[in-house]
């Protein structure tokens, strides 16, 4: 649980920093980015199951 909180806080801090510096976010559009990350994680789990 602690990992998730730290990851969320880090993401918020990066979002704030990029916004203040008027830089584009280093991520694809919201839903596509989340689905891409979920897909990467699921692929990692699948490889672990078959090893």
Q: What is the pLDDT of residues 9-47, one digit of tens each?
A: 988 898 899 999 999 877 777 788 788 888 898 999 999
Strands (E), 1-51: none
Among 23, 42, 46, CA closest to 34: 42
Residue 28 phi, psi dihedral angles, 5° rounding = -70, 175
What pLDDT sits at residue 43? Answer: 92
Residue 25 phi, psi dihedral angles, 5° rounding = -65, 140
Task: State if pTM tops 0.95.
Answer: no
């Amino acid at each position: 649980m602690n990992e998730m909180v730290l990851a969320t806080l880090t993401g918020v801090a990066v979002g704030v920093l990029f916004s203040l510096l008027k830089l584009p976010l280093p991520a694809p559009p919201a839903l596509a980015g989340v689905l891409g990350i979920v897909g990467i994680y699921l692929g990692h789990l699948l490889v672990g199951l078959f090893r």
